[in-house]
Chains A and B, each alone.
Chain A
């Protein structure tokens, strides 16, 4: 496979997975909650859409059911965390583990192949036969992602959305101002897992199968994407800009993966690579604090090396401006 084609595939995958990244962004960045439910709810989205379209449902309609199923998963985690006061990480793990069994129950088996079954990809391909599968995935992904970003931008600007953002910031203050923080947390988790399942459903349809293991490591991919986006695009801009950063991060993540595969790494090594990427990114602030001089020297070297490439980019980024 040529590098160019691999890159195209990576971009298409990145955009489809970016809906999941936006979901992870809501919990990890907005709510300040590391939600491991996504490993389960991503596969739930795939499972629901696969079983429904293999029974003849319209592939686009099935996405709505996947979305709803994901929202239910998020509600369970939220309930465990807020009402039963189970620590956040553990609440997520509990739901994730339970979803493994549930996902097999939904599908009736460990995986469903979607060969010869009408999916969102084949539907569009039937309408516009000239487009390659990658192009179709990319286009559908971009439309969905744009819609999700618009929705999130609107939603987090509303009174309820503001309460959710404030909950992630300072829940004591939010309670003192008369907001039920249990509700805002549950709402954030519902929204997040809904998006994750939607992403799982589109990914399952584009790859042509749903598998109970397809969600393993989703949270790491989501975190890696969010962090890559933040590092590359900066962290001091408006909310819409941050959402777009997450999408860019998701695409870059896929490109990195495609590159290392092209260089000959095995696909089974990817989870190690992802974990290392996230660990390094999370460690940067700590290293910065503990070894300031060492870190600054490193940054200076990096800057002088890449300075030429970054100049143009910085100027255009500065025009983004702070609006919200």
Chain B
């Protein structure tokens, strides 16, 4: 279980560019939850994920994961518990290293790294087997440089890397937004498969309202650093895009200003 209590973050505090990204946010994520997060630009979705991951520190509040206080832990230490996929396909992999080398790095997430060989015998069989589940033919190209792969392939690989050691929480930050529609659909299907196969606790930011409704067991909508809508279970299943738009307008007193969300 992940518990965020009164978490807040302000960028450029006390300057003319001051931006309150998160305002006293409270969120409890139950083990096994697959939560989709939607909201307009600057709603604080990515900030929420980055605060949990420790990319930057909280201004206030507390983040607990199974009673472990993450609030003050540096990013690399929290990484033991978290799996992450970024919006930019280039962010999640090392381009000049081979597919197997990238996987081997991910395989050692949360473990002590020593002077043992970087890829041990027997690991390749595991990687091959896992790569086969992606159905992208990568299992035959173990030593190819990741830089030679397409954005979609890299993102699928990053997803695999994030889940190679089962994370306590999987953070997906618009991980299909930079892909073409067909590839995005494929990566999203893979995501759904992996999450349900290993019953991963997941927080997925998306711009696509249909996806947000279709996937997961819980949906939260953010606006100006606050959670303005939180719906789960049966209620979520019967949710429609127009309900979300209405909800957004009543709560925020504003019309949805994000073209990307309306169009998709």
Residue ranges of A at the interface with B (Cβ–Cβ < 8 Å): 155, 157-163, 165-166, 169-170, 172-181, 322, 324
Contact = CB atoms under 8 A, between A and B. Distances in A.
A82 to B, nearest CB: 12
B91 interface: yes
Interface in B87-107: 90-98, 101-102, 104-106
Contacts of B98: 324
Given A165-B97, A172-B91, A179 B116 contact: no
Interface stretch (B58-66, B74-82, B212-220): B74-82
B242 interface: no
Contacts of B105: 162-163, 166, 173-174, 177, 179
Interface of B: 53, 74-77, 79-80, 82, 84, 86, 90-98, 101-102, 104-106, 108-111, 113-118, 143, 161
Contacts of A173: 91-94, 105
Nearest to B143: A322
A216 B91 CA distance: 38
A172 B106 CA distance: 13
Contact of B76 (A166, A181, A322): A181
Nearest to B53: A176
A322 to B, nearest CB: 7
A66 B77 CA distance: 35
Contact of B114 (A157, A158, A178, A181): A158
A177 B114 contact: no
Dominant secondary structure at the B interface: loop
A170 B95 contact: yes
B80 to A, nearest CB: 5
A159 B84 contact: no
Contacts of B161: 177
A159 B79 contact: no
A13 to B, nearest CB: 31
B140 to A, nearest CB: 15
Nearest to B78: A178
Q: Which 5 pairs from chain A and chain B are nearest by CB?
A: A178-B79, A169-B94, A162-B118, A159-B113, A178-B109
B217 to A, nearest CB: 25
Given A166-B97, A166-B105, A322-B143, A158 B79 contact: no
A180 B74 contact: yes
Contacts of B110: 178
A158 B115 contact: yes
Given A166-B94, A172-B86, 6 more contacts: A155-B115, A163-B105, A163-B113, A176-B84, A177-B108, A178-B76
A170 B93 contact: yes
Contacts of B109: 177-178
Contact of B101 (A155, A162, A181): A162
Instruction: Tell me which of A158, A163, A170, A324 has the highest count of chain B C-beta atoms within 10 A of its own C-beta.
Output: A170
A177 B79 contact: yes
Contacts of A169: 94-97
Contacts of A322: 143
Contacts of A181: 76
A170 B94 contact: yes
Contacts of A165: 94, 96-97
Contacts of A178: 76-77, 79-80, 108-111
Contacts of A170: 90-91, 93-95
A158 B114 CA distance: 7
A181 B54 CA distance: 14
A230 to B, nearest CB: 14
Contacts of B101: 162, 166
A181 to B, nearest CB: 7
